[in-house]
Amino acid sequence: MAPAYPTSTPASHNEHPRNTQAVGWSISKTNRYQSPSKKRQLVFGSPPVARTPSRMALPTVPATPRADILKQLPEPIPIPEVRVGYDPDLRNVLSNHEESLSKLLDRYSRLKLDLSHQLNVELAESEHQRTNAKCELAVIQKQLSETVEYNEKLKNELVAARNRLKKLTDDRREMDLKLGELNHVFAVTKEKFAGLDAKKTQEKVQLGLVIQDTKKEVELLEEITGLTILIMGPDRLRFNFKLIDMNAYDRVFFVELDLAEFDYRIVSIDPPCSEPKPAPSPASFLSSSDHDWPFCSTDLMQLFPVSQPR
């Protein structure tokens, strides 16, 4: 390396005494790498090349160098304890030592950059995971709020259902009471209906007996008097008589009455009467009892003329 100032001197350096106190500085014998005690900066040879990397934002946590990198670093070159001057060997030693330090600084800088990049990647990944966790937490909180709201809705529906069930239970009890009353009334009504049915059956039996007796009496009267009663229409009755004409017993005589008129008016008589005869009252004839029926029928027969014997 070229020195920073001329190396020519009026005398050899061997002519100077090796008294460090005369120069005004000293080198520590306990630590050979410690700078001289004099406060001014020492310049040996040419100025060092600026190899300081550009400054960057370093992480808050200092990066610790790995042990394997420290093992690969070269051992420091021992500096002989001689007077600092213009010795080329010493300048070479210092230059080599400076170059080793520059390489070490470069290696530390690269390591720091690698660790910083790795830390930034890990921080970005951690931030991404944190963002995802926040999103998942927001989703979970939303689901939780929806679940709480749904549970509250279900709770309200359950309370309403319980109220309806209670009301239905009360209504059922009331209906059971009413049903019991209705069953009692139905049982009483059934007993009454059974009594009425028995009474009706008994009355039917009695009515059947009366009808049979009446039919027998009618048949007997028809056989005795030859009377037959026919319904000709609404409020119209016809009485057919036989056994009136002594000369012709099978001859039929009839009297048709109008029941809608007052006193049951006689509508027609066949055969008609040629001579006026006093006619009995049809009302008395229809309303007559069994005791005076033969007399009324005899009076009614007098309306018809009797044929002359042959």
- At 255 the pLDDT is 74
- At 222 the pLDDT is 74
DSSP code at position 46? S
Q: Is 102 domain-assigned?
A: no
Q: Is 253 domain-assigned?
A: yes
Q: Is 68 domain-assigned?
A: no
Can you give the pTM of this predicted structure? 0.31
CA distance 108 to 65: 8
- At 18 the pLDDT is 45
Residue 297: count other Cβ atoms within 10 Å of its Cβ: 20
Q: Look at residues 237, 277, 231, 281 and name the one whose alpha carbon lies nearest to residue 255.
A: 237
Q: Look at residues 28, 30, 31, 12 and name the one whose alpha carbon lies nearest to residue 20.
A: 28
Q: Is 194 domain-assigned?
A: no
Residue whose token pair is 């080599």: 96
Could you tell me the CATH number of the domain that includes residue 261?
Answer: 3.30.457.50
Q: Is 304 left (phi over 0), alpha (psi -120 to 50) or beta?
A: beta
Q: Is 293 domain-assigned?
A: yes
Q: Look at residues 110, 98, 103 and name the one whose alpha carbon lies nearest to residue 54.
A: 110
Q: Is 134 domain-assigned?
A: no
| H-type alpha helices, the chain | 20-23, 67-72, 88-225, 282-286, 293-301
- For the chain, the domain total comes to 1
- What the block records as the tokens of 190 is 């059934």
Domain residues for the domain of 294 are: 226-301
Q: Is 265 domain-assigned?
A: yes
Q: Is 37 domain-assigned?
A: no
Residue 285: count other Cβ atoms within 10 Å of its Cβ: 19
- At 242 the pLDDT is 73
Q: Is 271 within 8 Å of 290 (Cβ atoms)?
A: no
Residue whose token pair is 């009353």: 181
- At 45 the pLDDT is 47
Dihedral pair phi/psi, residue 241, rounded to 5°:
-115, 145
- At 237 the pLDDT is 77
Q: What is the pLDDT along the chain (310 residues), one digit of tens a residue?
A: 444 444 444 444 444 444 444 444 444 444 454 445 444 454 444 455 445 444 455 455 455 555 565 566 566 666 555 555 567 888 888 899 999 999 999 999 999 999 999 999 999 999 999 999 999 999 999 999 999 999 999 999 999 999 999 999 999 999 999 999 999 999 999 999 999 999 999 999 999 999 999 888 878 877 776 777 778 878 787 777 776 666 666 777 777 777 777 666 667 666 665 554 555 555 555 555 444 555 555 665 565 655 555 4
